[in-house]
Structures are given as C-alpha cells and as structure tokens.
Amino acid sequence: MQLKTSIEIADYSFEIDYKHHVLSLGSCFAHHIASKMSDCFYNVASNPFGTLYNPISVRNSLGLLLNNYTFQKEDLFFHKEQWHSFQHHSSFSNADSTKVLDAIQKALEQAREVLKKTKVLMLTFGTAWVYELKQQGGVVSNCHQLPASRFKRRRLEVDEIVENLSPVLNYLKKQLPSVQILLTVSPVRYLKDGFSEHQLSKSTLLLAVHRLVQNAAFVHYFPSYEILIDDLRDYRFYKEDMIHPSALAISYVWECFEKALLSVKEQSLRKKLIKIRKSMSHRSIQPSSKAHQQFVEKQLKTLHVLAQKHPYLPLGNAMSYYKHQLLIN
C-alpha cells in the first residue's frame, strides 16, 4: 500500500567530491545544507553577506564578489545607535562604522578567494518579494527595522528574475569554466502576506528557476521545496512556528541531497568523517582520564592518516580540537 508520494530526483551530470570547493548563497536553508556539508568536512563556505532572501539580492551579492568594489562609510547608514549596510545581514552591524567596514571587507576577501576555487555554487531563493528604497532606489537585502514608509514592496516577475540572473551566471561560467550552479527554492514558508501570496511567491521562484535551468546546461535544480511540501507533507516536520523546517525535515532533505549529489565512491570516507565529527560533539566527564586520553590519541592518529591520504580535506580545526584535549594533562 502506497501511503505517500516520493519525489524522483533526476540524475545530475556532475557530483560533488571532497576535492571540490562549494559556495552557498541565499536563505537560511542555504546555510542548513552548507552546515551539513561542513559537518562532513567538505570545503564549503556559506553566505558571506549573511542571509539573502530574494533572487535580486543574491544577484547583487554575486556581482560584488565578482568585482573589486570596496565598501566605504558612505555605503553605510546609522539607525538605532548602529551602523548598517543594506547589502548585509544585521550580524555585520556595529556601533563603530570602522568595525562594520572591516568585517565586510574581510568577508568579501575571504569569499572572493573561495569563489576562485568554487566548483559548485549553490543558490537558494526564499521569496520573490523585494523591498526597494524609495529615494535611492535599488533592492535591499535587509531593511534593518527602518520604517516601512522608506521602502516600496513588490513581488518580482518571472522575466525580471531571469533577466537579472542570467548575465551574472553566464559571466561566472566564463570566469570559472568548470563551475556548476545548483539552484534551490527554500521550503521555509513566508505567510505574513497570507497563503495565496505565499504560493504566488514560491510559484514565481519555481518558474524562474526552471527557465534558468532550461537556458543553460551548467545550471541545475535540486527540489528541496518539493521534498518538504509533497514528500514529507506533514506539520510534524515543521518547528513550532509552522514556518521553518524542523531538524528532522532538514536531515531528510540532506539525505536526499547526499544520495543525489555526493560522490558514491567517497561514501566510506564520508561515514568515517561523520563519525569523527560526532565524537567531537561529545564532552568527556573525565577528560584527563587514561581512557579518554587514549581515545584522543586514536582520533589524532586517524586524522593524521586521513590528512596524508587526502590532503585537500579541511581537518585543521578537528586536529586542533583533539590536540587541545591532550594538553589537559
């Protein structure tokens, strides 16, 4: 008896292996997938501008990464005793404008270095709704609690999304010939405008994404939205706010992602690395005990063997963690 529908994920023309560098931009769901990859010790970076919700903000952020623009104090504004950037999340905000600019520049420089090596760029769109500044013009990535009267709010059109993203994706492909771009639509529900407007927004994103996929062979789609909405299809897979996916739902989508896109040949290596990550999350009651110290030495030995065999793995933090455990004595 078939009691649920299952999403059939199409075969991809590429797979992600440990030698690849991955950059993920977009909504909070983009961070969730990147975090899962990081837990498996992939070379992955996520959201150097902070959370980005709409396709135009993602496009603008890619543009800033692809040029050598340096943010100046004139690019910031002061509100509620802090300096902010319309292109960045509030995590960059600070009472000292110099600290804001330093944090922004550091994130830009790091992300540009990552982008040079990126083999897979993941872009996750959350909503088709945008906020535009009435006076200066332009779509903002974050309103930073400014009065609504400062903004014009509207829903993007499908053609508008495609026309804004296509040139920057094509330019990126010219700069990085081997890059593959993976698009997803976030399953997070944006219900403050009502269910109908929410569905129209997601539908707009889905139509635009599929147009982009049809227009370029290096652009692909991963159905995270459909997996949660049509496969899981139950409120128990949401948090208490009934808007954000639960940890269980994220893990389920991750399993689908892993099966569809991560190298099958590296499955045993991935399991070994996940085991190491899990061991790092446990805290010993008696860290100076002989048994724990022997366990730490064993983990370090395993890490050194892996580092020699797979020098591209980012194992530095794990090694530092266990070396610190040895220093307890």
Coil, helix or strand for 142?
A: coil
**Does the structure show a pLDDT above 90 at 287?**
no
Residue 218, pLDDT above cutoff 90: yes
pLDDT tens-place string over residues 249-286: 999 999 999 999 999 999 999 999 999 999 998 888 88
Q: According to the model, what pLDDT value does residue 283 have?
A: 82
For the segment 126-155, the average pLDDT, to the nearest whole number, is: 94
Q: Which tokens in the block code for residue 313?
A: 């793995």
Tokens of 239: 């948090």
Indicate the pLDDT class of residue 3, thresholds 50, 70 and 90.
Answer: low
Residue 233 pLDDT greater than 90, yes or no: no
Contact present, 238 and 246 (Cβ < 8 Å): yes
For the domain spanning 21-265, the CATH number is 3.40.50
State yes or no: pLDDT of 8 exceeds 90. no
Report how far residue 227's alpha carbon sits from residue 256's, in angstroms, rounded to the nearest whole number: 9
Chain segment 43-69, per-residue pLDDT in tens:
999 999 999 999 999 999 999 999 888
Return d(Cα 206, Cα 74) in angstroms, integer. 36
pLDDT at 327: 67
Whole-number Å distance between alpha carbons of 192 and 142: 17
How do residues 308-326 score in pLDDT, each as one tens digit? 999 999 999 999 999 988 8
Q: b or e along 186-207 (b: 16 or more beta carbons within 10 Å of the residue's beta carbon)?
A: bbbbbeeeeeebbeebbebbbb
**Residues 233-249, mean pLDDT to the nearest whole number:** 88
Q: What is the DSSP string of 146-213?
A: --GGGEEEEEPPHHHHHHHHHHHHHHHHHHSTT-EEEEEE------TT-HHHHHHHHHHHHHHHHHHH
Q: Domain residues of the chain, as ranges?
A: 21-265, 266-329
Mention every residue, 6+ apart, whose C-beta is less than 8 A from residue 276. Answer: 41, 299, 302, 303, 318
Q: Model confidence over 108-127: pLDDT tens digits?
A: 999 999 999 999 999 999 99
CA dist 63 and 67 (Å) reads 6
Q: Quote the percentage of the chain above a pLDDT of 70.
A: 98
Kindly tell me the burial class for residue 174, based on how many C-beta atoms sit within 10 Å of its own C-beta (0-12, 13-18, 19 or more): exposed
Cα–Cα distance measured from residue 61 to residue 76, given in angstroms and rounded to the nearest whole number? 16
> β-strands 219-221, 180-185: how paired?
parallel
